[in-house]
Structure 1
């Protein structure tokens, strides 16, 4: 089977459509001699004359018109397909895998995805929520979201959320039956709702700070969850004292469903960061 040089066919089609080597060269961005050599090589291989050259114009011969009808639409189709592929480079597309804690996924990641995905339908996002710190390279994640102080030093970290504060809360009925804690150490006498955080090696030791003094208190109680949302539910049910990011219970406190204590011991701290490997 005769296998023609594609560049020669492109050159022939450009000249035949332009009716001039000069105009075809200007449109295609190559020199006139290059086009002339390509068309001549094609004619020699086919053994027929494809273009009739006059002092005024260049027109296809009968063989040239037949060849143009055959290859012209196919060349146009190839050009259109290549343009479509190039367009993929100009807009976000593909799958992104992100590991995140539950609270960060709900408070930071989801609002961003809700705005992003309708505008970029070619993006697919896989969000894996887990409390443990994840090696995003070995687990083949594109990025992770964690507290700024939890991110490894060899990662690029970008802050994506405001500073956070924890809130220690319980229902008014709970505190009506027990004295409110005045200092973090008083929590050891209360029924506290624990959190399992693998990144902290097990149960979360409640962290406090006041006047430069830092305290960690290990509390006890009837319940422990790996979800701050379930801890909030348990607190609202009057089952004990819970400690969680204050944005989760701000409305409950304002409505009087929960009472906040030890607010002066809950200092702001670094919020969530998006992190990814520096080499990618």
Structure 2
């Protein structure tokens, strides 16, 4: 936030928020001292974390452009965080001015920030909801006419499911979305991956998030690939994030993110 760390009413500035810490990693200003301290501890072990964050952001926008060019006109960004320009709606509507974009996050400060950012844009909506309550979220999207699930949609789960525990069953949550999605829809998933990640940096990230509302869970690439059951997985499959940008000179990073895109059959 500001240098004085002013906060909207009801925002706990003593509890680290993943959305705000990620905002700090990306160079944003919507974060507090507790978020900067947590992110700084990880960056001390993995100084390339900001580069990884930017690469994930480029992947998100790359898939958004791909789907807009393929005719998708609905974009659902679940676990959106605090959007860093260029945003999903700017990218999608730059190619398809009639595109509808819905941002979803359970962090109250994300909701406050996005509502202020999007207040003048009728085709872009921000709602506060939790992916761990999929039926409630999906029913709301339908009843409020925010997403027409009879038509293709791109559902984005970027950097989200490493904040969902095994007990909360991310594969089952994704399946609930898939059951509602029309043929020709796409899903995009990225999450921190065990394979290739520096053990010390991974352990630090898990440690500092242990007492947060969403403890960090790294997963193997095979398990992340299972999240795409029922989808046709697009090439190159579930791979290191860098492989989605072969035309970019992205150096190896100490922490690894696996990413993939699937299409509803």
**What TM-score comes out, normalization by structure 1 length?**
0.27
- Select the structure of larger CA radius of gyration: 1
Greater strand content: 1
**What TM-score comes out, normalization by structure 2 length?**
0.28
